[in-house]
Structure 1
Amino acid sequence: MQRLILMRHAQAEKSAPGGDIDRALSERGRADALAMGRLLAARGLRPDMALVSASRRTRQTWDAVSESFGDVDLRIEDGLYNASSDTLRRAVEGAEEEAGCLLVLAHNPGVHQLAVEYLIESAASPGVLDKMSGGFPTAAAAVFTVDVAGRPSYEGWLTPADAEA
């Protein structure tokens, strides 16, 4: 793997009759997901594999984001639903031999925690750590370059606001 994209699902409705796992994207969430797909593709960030949580909102986010990517090896993973950073890390490590560019689409706090862990491990600058300390908004993506030893280092941070600019 040469590149890793950690992404949080887009904004979802507050509730659903089937519970949290069945919450759908809001209208804003759908628009943000479409915009983020276009932004990622415009920056050359096209995954060849995606690991996506089984929740409705993450699957809907993927459906919108992926419109800009073309063919991607998609894997819906039950274990990524509200997964911890450790679980997400294991999923990344499990796919590293199969993907050139891997996108992991899941939930907070796990996505945020894993991004911060990678930043700390790669000795990211205080400015980058400050940027990430503000949280991980819906539909945001942290992008990492991965070296030959499998160590991610910070490449960029994208939010729906970047897509609007």
Structure 2
Amino acid sequence: MSSSDPDSRLLLLMRHGKAESGSGRPDHERALADRGVTQAQLVGEYLDAQNVQVSRVLVSDAVRTTQTWEAVAAAMPGFDGEVSFHEEIYSGGAADVLALVHGVDARHPVVMVVGHEPTISTLTSLLATEDSEAGAAAQARIGMPTGATAVLSGPLQGWGSLAEASLTLHTIVRP
């Protein structure tokens, strides 16, 4: 998506791909399983095929989310946006992630967050309007499977005005 409407915003909320089991390793250090890499690549291919021009990416600083983003980006050869890594996406909740999105400059019409459950599904449900796609809204209430990406959009003057029930949830991409 690349819109000529300066107030049109697209928000992608992605749960990291399938991770390896903990096996004595700290949770923050868990890596992606092969399946998780494939899931992330498929999401990147989907975004590339849909001509989604992601301009700002906020990623949890956990190993599995960093690897998820790397696999997504590898499948989007034209990506030239800004990426930053945040501990608060790992340790915080929906309000913490929302605060990070509020801080994104309005010049970025397409923002992606790569994070964890239950934060991603909670934030998706919180932001979705009543006219959102029913199946996607139900999935968000149940929880997001690994690698799934919620696609929300709506008219916002800037990310600072993002609020409860302010974006339409169109679909949840499930690789």
TM-score, structure 2 as length reference? 0.83
3-state SS of 1:143 partner: strand
Query: Aligned residues: percent identity?
Result: 27
Distance 1:139 1:126, change over 3 A: closer
Task: Identify the residue that residue 84 of structure 1 maps to in structure 2.
Answer: 93
Instruction: Give the distance between the partners of 2:134 and 2:170, measured in 1 at CA.
Output: 13
Question: 136, 151, 157: which is aligned to 1:143?
Answer: 151
Q: Which runs of 4+ in 1 moved over 4 A?
A: none
3-state SS of 1:97 partner: coil
3-state SS of 1:57 partner: helix
Q: Which runs of 5+ in 2 are unaligned?
A: 1-7
Distance 1:125 1:97, change over 3 A: closer
Letter of the 1:148 partner, please give it.
L
Find out whether 1:118 has 2:133 as its counterpart: no
Task: Identify the residue that residue 112 of structure 2 maps to in structure 1.
Answer: 103
Instruction: Give the distance between the partners of 1:27 and 1:68, measured in 2 at CA.
Output: 15
Instruction: Give the distance between the partners of 1:17 and 1:145, measured in 2 at CA.
Output: 40
Q: Shift in Å at residue 18 of structure 1?
A: 4.2
Cα-to-partner distance string for 1:21-67 (whole Å, 9 max, x where unaligned): 00000011111111111012112223111000000000000000011
Equivalences for residues 34-113 of structure 1 within 5 A: 34-69=41-76, 70-113=79-122
Distance 1:126 1:73, change over 3 A: closer
3-state SS of 1:2 partner: strand
Q: Which runs of 5+ in 1 are unaligned?
A: 161-165
> Which structure shows the bigger proportion of residues in helix conformation?
1
Task: Identify the residue that residue 167 of structure 2 maps to in structure 1.
Answer: 152
Deviates more, 1:80-89 or 1:90-99: 90-99
3-state SS of 1:103 partner: strand
Task: Identify the residue that residue 3 of structure 2 maps to in structure 1.
Answer: none
Letter of the 1:146 partner, please give it.
G
User: Given that residues 3 and 100 in structure 1 are in contact (C-alpha distance below 8 angstroms), is that contact kept between their aligned partners in structure 2?
Assistant: yes
Q: CA RMSD in A?
A: 1.8
Deviates more, 1:77-86 or 1:54-63: 77-86
